Structure formats: structure tokens, C-alpha cells
Amino acid sequence: MRFGVLGSLIVRTDDGASVDVPERKVRVLLGALLLARGRPVPVDTLVDHLWGFGDAPLRPDRALQRKVWALRSALSAAEPDAGERVRFRSAGYLLHTAEQAVDAERFQVLVARARADENPGSRAGLFARALELWRGPALADLADETFTEPARARLEQEWLTAIEEYALARLDLGEHRQVARDLSEPLAENPLRERLVVTRMRALNEDGRRAEALRLFADLARGLREELGVDPDPEVADLHTRILRQESGGGGVPRRRLPRPLTEMLGREDDLSRIRSLLAHERLVTLTGFGGVGKTRLATALAHELDGDTHMVEYAAHARGADPAEVLARTLGLRDEGEGETRERLVRGLTGQDTLLVLDNCEHLLEPIGDLAAHLLARLPDLRVLATSREPLGVPGEHLHPVGPLPVPPSGSDPAEAHEYAAVRLFVARARAAGPGFELTEANAPDVARLTRRLDGIPLALELAATRIRALGVHGVLCRLDDRFRLLATAQRHLPPRQRTLRAMIDWSWDLLDERERVLLRRLSVFTGGWHPEDAEAVCADPDHDVLDPLTRLVDRSLVAATVDPCTDEIRHHLLESIADYARARLAEAGETRTLRDRHARHFSRLAEEQHATLFGPGQGRGIRRLDAEAANLYAAVDHAVAVGDAETALETAGGLTWYWFLRGRYREGQRVLTLVRTVHGADAHPELQATIEAGGTVFEILNGTGHDHAQQARAALKAGPEADLSRARLALTLGIALQSRGDQEVSEELVDQAPDVFCEHGDDWGLAAALVAQASHTLGRGDLAHAEGQGREALDLFERLGDSWGRMNARGVLAVLAEIRGEYGHSRRLHEAALAAAEELDLTVEVAGSLSGLGRLALLEGDLDRADALHRRSADLVRGQGGIAERQHPQMGLALSARRRGHLDEAEAYLTELVDWSRRVEWWPGTALTLSELGFVAELRGDADEALRLHTEGLIAAHGTEDTRAMALALEGIAGAHTLLGCLEESARLLGTATRAREDSGAPMPAAERGDVDRIETLLCAELGETVFEEALREGRESALPQVVAALIGDAGR
């Protein structure tokens, strides 16, 4: 008999039947005896528990006996003699229970086992089993009984501690996002529990949600001070500091990307030991063997054991001809725009990391994966690669570990020794899971041993067979298996013997299905990389064949795997590799391949269009994640449509993905697919679609930096683009944004300015808001702060109404820069933090980096150089490997400014030289002006007056071209510093006066935090000229008109 206190008080028989303990006082008695844990409870104590002080009956001992008799009767009614468990001893009454018969005891035993287990996977599994025992608050129905309070408080603390330790084990497995989500509820109930806060902070930080982690610390610190008058524990404060400095968490690539197996691996101890040894000394290890033998399972288990950054790349979903480097880059979350080929982006993204890459299912891409592995290993000394393949990669330095079947009992061996063989242990474990109550017995051991031999010890075959034990028994499975093997041996002799055995197993499983299940299984093979239930209904159902019931049965029979999709947190299904191959052959036999592939392509074309519509409003995050999950299916749909000449489907699918590729930064991917669909036969029959695709291809060519004259490309694309006014306006806007990101401000502004009137005319609020953000950025670049603020605020209001996170993020970014210019640092920080939270929620890496750079700039202005450097380095780490200098310009400028303020002039010059070369190359004059001014100040601080004057004058010419008053003022201040070195002191003071007046007239006087260079020059001038002469020269400068002063200086430079 079993008892439950982890929730309401319950009693069950050994076979699970509920035991009714009807009366309240009898349940109180049972609760008191259970809490005593087998120790006698004095009669007086029990009386007090049941009736309370002063309320006892006249004969309390007799009254207690009646309650004891009622308890014994209730137990005996459910299980003979169970009432005898309630016993009387001289010290009082006790309840005798078997070991771990009380769920609280089982909980404590499992927790103790978990704490002693050093393997994170099995430790997490034990904690999960322990926590599953909880049905609610301990003794919830006896919560108003005073005597239960200490026990309930103790059990609640044990529960919370177990939750914390379970979360820590899962963090070691890389489950950062799930842990952060699962700790929300217990933390809401216990907001001041510091260990719980620390654990969730770590989870959020390692999931890249750093802003949320910092807010969590702030809430804790405030709560502790307000309620207890104390500060957070040093452990919490230390983690907070490390998050600020980014000492925990990685750079642009998350630390671990590994699936977590749902079942324990059995029988591979020797393999694990051998592979561990190989990886300790060798850098490329390949697990070889046929499909279904367990290569992936071994690699996953080993990856979970090892320290360092670990990432698993699944190539089975990618067809021949796929680029393994692009697949790896997507898995690592590296954006694919920018300079350099994909391999070089991977090298940049992985440099400096102790990384293990698990490359899974390589056999169909053997040569390109081998070349990729060899290239990365040659360039990255800290990289190790663990590959799984049906044959070796054939790369120098490769070390092979053949993965064979599990050991099986030899024919004629003693059945009593069957359990010593790994194949038997695996089969029995899976059979128990499929049918509780199954055990290996003396009677069935011979059949089990024979079954494992007939299945060659292949894990996949053993697991499939185990699912049938509940219905057929071991002997029934053996009988069917014998028939199937003989049939397949005569029909499929051309297959290798081991594959022949596996196909026999799958063929036998197929034979057990009814017709509806067979139809569905073969049709499911058209999916690539899995599907959601609604996808299966759309593609596989017809009037004669539904989906949900047979799909459920296929999952139950382990022919379809069900997992939680990490992209959407929804149930997702997929076929094991060998079963998918088998099902595709069955689909071909049925003559349905073309029909189902057409359905699949049309469905995912519609899905791309539907999800495209969600990318412009409150469903944006869900839409992005859904398209992430369906990437392989979408590309398969495009490939099929192109192959069969279905131009409309190919064009519509690719067109529906263009904005998704833009948001995700997958510019190379977009360009590749759009180039492919341009070749589809019959595309010219859809001129509007074709024009949209051509224009989209041009956008991605610009973003990728391919081609030469981007401005001409953009104008040509718009001229040849769609005829509809609204479509043309959207295209003009997108081309303008693309050009702006590459530094071409003039043509960008020309294109963007074509759009707003059209958007207003058609009531397109999203288009208008996006155009306003782009215009605000242009206006800000010219120094018209008031106008830029109006545009930015109007855009933010529109995006707020639309619920578009991407739009709000971009609008806030512009407004944050404006607030910074005006010295409103607190307001600017709040805007940057809001933008950062949106970027993290949408998982937009480069946008996260941009917000971090903005926060770093504020820290720099406030004089906190250490924090500024930490934020800028974090930003640079995120974009490392994601593109070129265009992506890292902001953190690089921040690091340059900090280095100059620290007096590290050589370091500052190195950063700035690269930036000015790029700015000039792409003709981005605002960046050119700023960088030349900073280089001029470096020269001035070195005492090189001529070089300082040359650089500042060139900066003034660039600033004049932008029409940005503030940029011109900065150049004048730099020239003033150069003149000071040359001895032209009064001219220097006049230039400072002109610059000061120009800044005031622009509406943005120089904030105190930015006055370092000006204060240094003014102090020197005042000391040399005297205060009276200095002030008079300053006044003369203020009265001089900026345009005339700039023209004179530029004219002098020309002469």
C-alpha cells in the first residue's frame, strides 16, 4: 500500500486503486501517523491533533480508538490485512509502511541519488522523477491543521531546493531557454529566494537574454532592501557583476546546442570510454556504422558529458547538393551577409573557443563535409569534430570508431545470464516503457535472447519490436519476425546483409499497420526535417484518409517521433532516417510521389505567404520562429517547384520568404534561393511575381556587397520592378534601407522619400512607419534634430499601434541616439534597453549587438570606461563572423574612443584606420567625418600639429558634405586644437566660439560628458592668452557665421 503527502493526502493499493478514507478526523489521524515516519505518536498528542486543546471528548482515549478502528477498516477494505499496519505500542500508535511507500520518502531517495550522480543527464532525469511525485502543496487538505505546519514548510523547502538543483543540471545540458521559462512560476511565488533568482539569471543570460537577467537582479535587490533591509547575497551580486562584464555566456554563438535524449542509453559503456579516449587525444573522430545502429545517440550522449562549447549539426534533413558550411552557419546562428565566404565566417565565429562540433549523418554529403571539417580543423587549433556517417569522411587525421550492434546472448548460452547482455537490457527497458509490468523472467528469457539475436542487436530494431510486446508478447513477435525475415531475404538480396535485417524489421512493422496508417506513413515521407500536426493534415489528408488518429497510433508505435520544437515550443513530429527511406519507397510504389510533393510544395508556399503576413505586427516573433522551424521544408518546396516547372509556386514561396530572410540577416541564403527561382521554366508567365523576385534579388545583392554600382543596381531594380504603386513604394523603401546599411546615404534618401506619400494614400501604416524611421535616420545624419525627433516619435506611435516589435526597436534606436546627443542619458538608456529586449525576444543577433553598442556609448560618456569596453566587446563578439566592418563599426568605434581616453593612442589609431578606410570606400561621409576627427585628435595628442590639421580639415570637408552642423562643429574644434599646437592661439579661440554657437543653434549644445577635448584646448588657450583676450576671441567666433568659416577653411585647404 502506498501513501501520498506531496499534495492532498491520498492512499492507493499496490496496483494503483484509490483507497477511500472518508472522515475528516480519520484523515487527520492518518496524516499525523505518516508524518511520524513509523515512530509511535503518543495518545495525548493524537487527541490534541484531532480535537485541539480544551475540545477533547469526555473519553478521549475511547474516541481515539474509534478513529483508529475507522482507519484500519478503510485500509482493510481496499487490501486484506492492510489495517494491521496501524499498530499500538506502549508509547502510542504508529503506522507501519514498506520502504519508500510514502511519496515523500521516494522523493528524498531520488533527490539523494541525483545529488550523488555526476552525469548531468542522468542527474536531471532523477530530479525530474522526484519532482513528478508532487501533485500540489504538501498535505494541502490538512493545511489548516497546526501540527502539519513544520512538515509542510520543510517539504516545501525540499521541493524548492530540488527545483533549483534540477534547473542547474539542465543548465549543464544547455537547456537555458526551457529553464528560464520553467522557473518563472516558482520565482513568482518566492521572489526573494536568492538561489532561485541566481539560477534563473544564469539561464536568461546564457540564453542571450541579458537585459532580463539584469532586471531580475534589480527586482531582487529592491525587494530585499524594502522588505528585509538587506542587500543580495554575495553569490548573487557576483553573478550580476559577471553578467555586466559578460564573463559568463558566450559571444555570437550560444554555448551549447544539443538535443536532450528522452531515454537512458544502455549498453554503450565501452563505446563511450573508447570515444572519450579518442577525443582526448585526437581532433577528428568519426563514428561509422549503418542506419539505426545508434551513432547519433552515442554522439549526443558523449557531447553532453564534455565541457566547453558544443554544437550539433543535423545533416539528414539536407539533400545532396546542400552547402554543409551554410547549414553549420545557420545552426550556429551566424548571419550570412557581409564580406567573405561562409567558411571564413565560420572561422571568425569560432575563433578562440574550445569547441566540439558534432556533425551528424554525413554520408550523403561526404566530400563537402570532409572538406569543410579539414578546413576548419586547419584554421582553428581549439576545435574538435565528432562526426557520424555510414562511411569514413576520408580526411587526413581522421580516427574511426566503428559502432556495431549491441552484444547479444550467443546461441546455446544460459538463459539465466541473458540480462548480462546489452541488447537484452535495452529491449527489456523499452518493453517496460511500452507496457508497464513487463519483466525478464525465466520463462521468457530464451525467447528474448533469441529475439535479440534475430534482430542482430540493432537498437532501432529492438526498440521497434519492444513497442509490440504489449499486444503480441515475445513469442508472438518472434513468430511474425521469422516470417518477415524469410520473405525479405528472397526479395531483397541486393541489399547489404545488415541493411537487409533492418529493412525486414521495418517491413514487418509496416505489415502490422492498418491501411489508413500505411497511407499516412508513406505520405509523411515527403516532409523534410519534420512537421507540425496541422502540416500533416494539410498535405496528407483527403476525403478517404484522415490524419490525427493514425498519426497518434504511429507515434505510439514509435514509427513517428514526437518532440518539443525548440523554435516554437510546440509538438513536432519526424520520421527516423531509416523509416523515412522505407516510407519514400512505399510512396513511389503507390505512385503518389509527384502528387504528394506537389501538395507539400503548395502547402509550404501558402505557409510562407501566411507567415509573411505575421511579420508586420504582434505575431512577428511567432512567425519568425515558425519559419525557422520549417526552413528545410520550405527549401524542399522551392526545389521541387523549380524541378517540375511550377513557376507560380516557386515564385510565391520565395517571395513570401524575402522579409523573413531580411529580418534574420540571411542575405546570402535569400540571394541564392531567389537566383534559383529566376531560372524556373514559365516564370515569364507571371510578370508581377517575377519582377518582385528580381527586385528582391537586387536587395540581397546590395546587402551582401556583391556587384559594383549599388546605386545603379537599386535604380534599375526599381525601374524594372512591380507596377503597382504600393508594391513599388515598398520596394523603394527596402532598397533605400539596404543602401543605407551599406553607407550610400544620398541614393538611400532619394529612394526612401518616394514612399511615404504612397503609403499615406493607400492607408499603409506599417510602410509609413518604416519610412519615417529611415527618414529620421537620414534627418539625424544631417543634424536636423527637431525634425528627426518628430519623425521618430510618429514612427514609434504607429509601430506601437501595430504591435510590431522590429519597428518599435528601430524607432527607439533612433530616438535613443537623439536623447544621447542632447545629454539625456537616462532617457537614452531606457530606450536602448527597450530596443535590446525586443531584439533579444526576436533573436536578432546584429540588432542585439547594436543596442549593446548604444549602451556602451552611454557608459563611455559617463566615464565608466571598463563597463563601456565590456559592452562594446560583447557587441563585437556577437557580430564576429556575421559580416564585415559594416556590422562591427559601432563597437569598434566605441573601443577606439575608450582607448583614446585611456591614452592608448596606437590602439585607438588601429581601430580608427580600418574604420576610415571602409567609410571612404563605401562613401559613408558621416562615418568618414567622425573617424577623421578622432584620428586628428590622436595626432594632436601626439604633438603632430601638421598631421592633426590635415586630418581635421579632411574631416571638415566630409562633414560639410553631410550638412550635419554637429559634425562640422566637431571638425572646427579639432582644427582649433591643431592651431593651438601651431601657435595660432586667437584663431583657435575664435574657431571654438564658432563651434559652440553652431552646436547651440542646432538644438544640441555639447553635453558636459563630451567636453573633454574642448576643455583641454580652452584651458591651454586661457592660460596662454589670458582670460580677457581669450573671452574676446571666443565672442568674435560666436559672431561669425558657420557657413562662411567652413567655406574659408575648405578654400584654404584647396589652395
Task: Give the integer Cα–Cα distance in Å for 69 and 589.
Answer: 71
Q: What is the pLDDT of residue 291?
A: 67
DSSP string, 975-1036: HHHHHHHHT-HHHHHHHHHHHHHHHHHTT-PPPGGG-HHHHHHHHHHHHHH-HHHHHHHHHH
Based on the domain organization, do 433 and 380 belong to the same domain?
no
- Mean pLDDT for the stretch of residues 867-891: 82
Based on the domain organization, do 142 and 6 belong to the same domain?
yes
Percentage, residues of the chain above pLDDT 70: 92
Half-sphere exposure of 889 (CA within 13 A, CB side): 19
Based on the domain organization, do 435 and 397 belong to the same domain?
no
Task: Give the integer Cα–Cα distance in Å for 595 and 439.
Answer: 46
Whether 12 is covered by a domain: the verdict is: yes
What pLDDT band is residue 336 in, cutting at 50, 70 and 90?
low
Q: What is the pLDDT of residue 673?
A: 92
pLDDT at 899 > cutoff 70: yes
Q: What is the pLDDT of residue 1055?
A: 47
- Mean pLDDT for the stretch of residues 21-31: 91
Whether 407 is covered by a domain: the verdict is: no
- Mean pLDDT for the stretch of residues 370-399: 91
Q: What is the pLDDT of residue 259?
A: 64
Contacts of residue 744, defined as CB under 8 A and 6 or more positions apart, other chains included, come to 710, 711, 922, 923, 924
Based on the domain organization, do 379 and 437 belong to the same domain?
no
Based on the domain organization, do 388 and 432 belong to the same domain?
no
Based on the domain organization, do 825 and 937 belong to the same domain?
no
Q: Check residues 951 and 331 and name the one with the higher pLDDT.
A: 951
Q: Check residues 598 and 124 and name the one with the higher pLDDT.
A: 598
What is the C-alpha R_g of the chain? 35
Question: Is there a contact between 99 and 41 (Cβ–Cβ < 8 Å)?
Answer: no
pLDDT tens per residue, range 147-180: 888 888 889 989 999 999 999 888 877 788 888 8
3-class state of residue 850 by DSSP: helix
What pLDDT band is residue 492 in, cutting at 50, 70 and 90?
very low
**Structural domain that includes position 474:** 415-495
Task: Give the integer Cα–Cα distance in Å for 821 and 811.
Answer: 16
Q: What is the pLDDT of residue 922?
A: 73
Based on the domain organization, do 383 and 455 belong to the same domain?
no
Q: What is the DSSP letter of 93?
A: E
DSSP string, 909-951: HHHHHHHHHHHHHTT-HHHHHHHHHHHHHHHHHTT-HHHHHHH
- Mean pLDDT for the stretch of residues 655-668: 90
Nearest CA among 129, 235, 118, 133 for reference residue 169:
118
Whether 545 is covered by a domain: the verdict is: no
Scanning 618-678, the segments in alpha helix (DSSP H) are: 620-629, 631-644, 647-664, 667-678
Q: Check residues 185 and 489 and name the one with the higher pLDDT.
A: 185
Pairing status of strand 92-95 against strand 86-89: antiparallel
Scanning 7-144, the segments in alpha helix (DSSP H) are: 24-35, 43-51, 60-78, 103-116, 120-132
- Mean pLDDT for the stretch of residues 462-474: 79
- Mean pLDDT for the stretch of residues 526-544: 92
When mean pLDDT is compared over 346-360, 777-791, 856-870, the highest value belongs to 856-870
What pLDDT band is residue 308 in, cutting at 50, 70 and 90?
low
Based on the domain organization, do 387 and 421 belong to the same domain?
no
Specify the CATH number for the domain of residue 965: 1.25.40
Among 442, 467, 495, residue at a domain's last position:
495
pLDDT at 108 > cutoff 50: yes
pLDDT at 249 > cutoff 70: no
Based on the domain organization, do 433 and 390 belong to the same domain?
no
Number of structural domains the chain divides into: 5
Q: Which amino acid is residue 766, in one-letter code?
A: W
pLDDT at 126 > cutoff 70: yes
| Residue that has been written with the C-alpha cell 513517428 in this structure | 560
Whether 192 is covered by a domain: the verdict is: no
3-class state of residue 173 by DSSP: coil
Please, is 90 exposed, middle or buried when counting C-beta atoms within 10 Å of its C-beta (0-12, 13-18, 19+)? exposed
Nearest CA among 1015, 1012, 934, 946 for reference residue 974:
934
pLDDT at 842 > cutoff 80: yes
Q: What is the DSSP letter of 205?
A: H
Q: What is the pLDDT of residue 204?
A: 86
Question: Is there a contact between 373 and 393 (Cβ–Cβ < 8 Å)?
Answer: yes
DSSP string, 497-565: HHHHHHHHHHHHHHHTS-HHHHHHHHHHTT-SS-B-HHHHHHHH-BTTB-SHHHHHHHHHTTSSEEEE-
Q: How many CB atoms lie within 10 A of CB 681?
A: 13
Whether 864 is covered by a domain: the verdict is: no
pLDDT tens per residue, range 680-714: 877 777 777 888 888 888 888 888 777 677 778 78
Based on the domain organization, do 313 and 428 belong to the same domain?
no
pLDDT at 503 > cutoff 90: no
pLDDT at 252 > cutoff 60: no
Among 130, 145, 172, residue at a domain's last position:
172
- Mean pLDDT for the stretch of residues 433-444: 82
When mean pLDDT is compared over 290-304, 602-616, 721-735, the highest value belongs to 602-616
pLDDT at 307 > cutoff 70: no
Among 441, 466, 495, residue at a domain's last position:
495
pLDDT at 497 > cutoff 50: no
Q: What is the mean pLDDT of the chain?
A: 85
Based on the domain organization, do 768 and 800 belong to the same domain?
yes
pLDDT at 335 > cutoff 80: no
Specify the CATH number for the domain of residue 286: 3.40.50.300
When mean pLDDT is compared over 575-584, 986-995, 1003-1012, the highest value belongs to 986-995
- Mean pLDDT for the stretch of residues 929-958: 94
Q: What is the pLDDT of residue 482?
A: 56
Whether 1008 is covered by a domain: the verdict is: yes
3-class state of residue 383 by DSSP: strand
Whether 1045 is covered by a domain: the verdict is: yes
What pLDDT band is residue 246 in, cutting at 50, 70 and 90?
low
Whether 503 is covered by a domain: the verdict is: no
3-state secondary structure 431-456: HHHHCCCCCCCCCCHHHHHHHHHHCC
CA distances from 429 to 435, 436, 822 (A): 10, 10, 68
pLDDT tens per residue, range 618-660: 989 999 999 998 999 999 999 999 999 999 999 999 999 999 9
- Mean pLDDT for the stretch of residues 63-68: 89
Q: Check residues 244 and 1006 and name the one with the higher pLDDT.
A: 1006
Q: What is the pLDDT of residue 263?
A: 67
Q: Of all helices (H) and strands (E), which one includes residue 302?
A: helix 295-305
Specify the CATH number for the domain of residue 112: 1.10.10.10
Q: What is the pLDDT of residue 539?
A: 96
Task: Give the integer Cα–Cα distance in Å for 93 and 309.
Answer: 58
Percentage, residues of the chain above pLDDT 90: 42
Based on the domain organization, do 419 and 393 belong to the same domain?
no
Contacts of residue 665, defined as CB under 8 A and 6 or more positions apart, other chains included, come to 335, 336, 337, 844, 845, 846, 882, 883
Q: How far is CA 992 from the centre of its chain?
A: 50
Q: How far is CA 345 from the centre of its chain?
A: 19
Beta bridge partners of 545: 542
Burial 478-508 (b: 16+ CB within 10 A, else e): bebbeebbeebeeeeeeeeebbbbbbbbbbb
pLDDT at 377 > cutoff 90: yes
Helix, strand, coil tally for the chain in percent (to 5): 70, 5, 25
Q: What is the pLDDT of residue 715?
A: 83
